[in-house]
Structure 1
Amino acid sequence: MPKDPRDVADITSDPASAATGKTAVLYRMALPDHLCPSGQKARWLLKSKGYDVDDRLFRERPEVDAFMAKYDVPTTPQIWIDGERIGGYSDLRERLTDYDPKATTYKPVIYLFAVAAATALALSIGFLGAITWQTLGWFISVSMILLGMQKLRDIEGFTTMFLNYDLLARRWVPYAYIYPWIETGAGILMTGMLLTALAAPAALFVATVGAISVYKAVYIDKRELKCACVGGNSNVPLGFVSLTENLMMMGMAIVMLVMIAT
């Protein structure tokens, strides 16, 4: 049965000549076993920016190979706008939005703390019927859990960044691998108010070392580093965020130690 020509990507015509005005040319894979996610996102982004999309779909793998060979590109999707090839989805995103993959940003931390705050409020209202000092305690402990999980998600990336500034980890590398487990475990125990005699001293120790390390690296040595607080390969700058993380842990641990001592 012959193919419907509307379902086959045209690689014979010049995409640059078709990509004029508000018309964009998009080549993407729609194979029987693979519908390209980046191609779908590229199509959505183009339409959201007011482009009419000349959507050219690859239905078979040989079509993809022939296209990549002809245009000397390593992958698809490929997009043309304003008479020129932009590249793939990431290139398109940079072109049409203010996205900069190398720019520093606090968004990951803001989102994480927002989720921690919402969780603390839900716990307080659901179990206590009011917002109390326990709400702050839950906010800190839930933040510890979420921050620890971000580190454990990419432990190698985290340890590489952590070793740039943590004083203890630079002397004893295994500490960099242990730290996320201590932070996560202490957060879990503090949330449930369990084994406080174990969780509080552990949290106080790692937080104190962390606070000193960050303060030295940023405010004494004046080093410009990326923060490992939300895991490896983040663009969050090292500074007050990581210092705040450690100070919150210290404060929570001290309060809990005072509570079990009285």
Structure 2
Amino acid sequence: MLDRTIPHNLARKAVLYRMVMPGHTCPYGLKTKDLLQRSGYEVDDHHLTTREETDAFKAQHGVPTTPQVFIDGQRVGGYDDLRRFLGKPVADPKATTYRPVIVLFTLTALTAMAASHAVNGTPFTLRAAEWFIAFSMVVLAMMKLQNVESFATMFLNYDLLAMRWIPYSYIYPYAEGLAGVLMVAGALNWLSVPVAMFIGTVGAVSVFKAVYIDKRELKCACVGGSSNVPLGFISLTENLMMIAMAVWMAAGSIGLIATHAM
């Protein structure tokens, strides 16, 4: 088997300056050192141990931040600059992405299946499907409530009811979370069903109008006010899931009442 390691005497070398202070170690400095080492570089690691030393270094090299990497006597720059230098992708913090909702729905689906397996001995049950929607509602509410002000501001861009009654933009995530928790428990259907039906219907109509009628390009507040998820199919799906769950649970409750009446 061929040895693919770089011989020590042929190892590429990089000089790294990063903050390592008694009360703070720069996380980007750690990431930069790790990236250099994983890319086959021998790192000459210089620690900037005081604020004065850090400020003097930045002034000397005319740079606003640390860490800073030098290769072959030339300054490469910070962590993102190093990624570009190595031909690796650099995430754009403003780019739209579906990743947050994909991760969220994947984990809630797996959690629902795990709960079903623990209770019923199999992950593939009707209850798992119900839990998936209910867990998703709870987690989506939690994401919104991380910063309810930011969520409310983004929500006001497209929700028809919130634009007419501002308090609804603050009530919505609490209502979604409450309905989700009750649906997980299968309790108080008389409360969870109308709440989910109401907010789901208003949300679906609002998203459909904004995206498919008005053709507006907006960001969705579904996973919080700081997300870059585009308003569209995913947002509509969230609301349709709530409506479907409400209809399903209402039908189940009616069926149960009918059974007891016989």
TM-score normalised according to structure 2 size = 0.85
Q: What is the CA RMSD across the aligned residues, in angstroms?
A: 2.0
| 1:190-226, Cα deviation, whole Å (9 max, x unpaired) | 0011111101110110011100111111111111111
Query: Match of 1:135?
Result: 128
Provide runs of 4+ in structure 1 moved above 6 Å: none
Please list, as runs of the form range in 1=range in 2, the aligned pairs for 1:118-157 lying within 5 A after superposition. 118-130=110-122, 131-157=124-150
Tell me the secondary structure at the aligned position of residue 222 of structure 1.
Answer: coil
Aligned length: 242
- Aligned-residue sequence identity (percent) comes to 58
Query: Which of 58, 67, 92 is 1:100 aligned to?
Result: 92
The runs of 5 or more residues in structure 2 that have no matched partner are 1-10, 256-262
Tell me the secondary structure at the aligned position of residue 216 of structure 2.
Answer: coil
How many Å separate the matches in 2 of 1:174 and 1:84?
Answer: 56
How many Å separate the matches in 2 of 1:211 and 1:82?
Answer: 57
| 1:83-121, Cα deviation, whole Å (9 max, x unpaired) | 654543345456632422222211111111111011100
Query: Match of 2:8?
Result: none
Tell me the secondary structure at the aligned position of residue 112 of structure 2.
Answer: helix
| 1:234-259, Cα deviation, whole Å (9 max, x unpaired) | 11111111100110011001111122
Alignment CA distance shift 1:84-1:152 (3 Å): farther
Question: Cα offset for 1:180?
Answer: 0.6
Is 111-120 or 96-105 further displaced after alignment?
96-105
Is 159-168 or 46-55 further displaced after alignment?
46-55
Instruction: Tell me the amino acid that sits aligned with residue 113 of structure 1.
Output: F
Instruction: Tell me the amino acid that sits aligned with residue 254 of structure 2.
Output: A
Please list, as runs of the form range in 1=range in 2, the aligned pairs for 1:68-217 lying within 5 A after superposition. 68-81=58-71, 85-93=75-83, 96-130=88-122, 131-217=124-210
Query: Match of 2:6?
Result: none
How many Å separate the matches in 1 of 2:41 and 2:107?
Answer: 35
Instruction: Tell me the amino acid that sits aligned with residue 32 of structure 2.
Output: A
Residue 218 of structure 2 is aligned to residue 230 of structure 1 = no
Kept in 2: contact 1:94–1:100 (CA 8 A) = no
The runs of 5 or more residues in structure 1 that have no matched partner are 1-20
Residue 232 of structure 2 is aligned to residue 255 of structure 1 = no
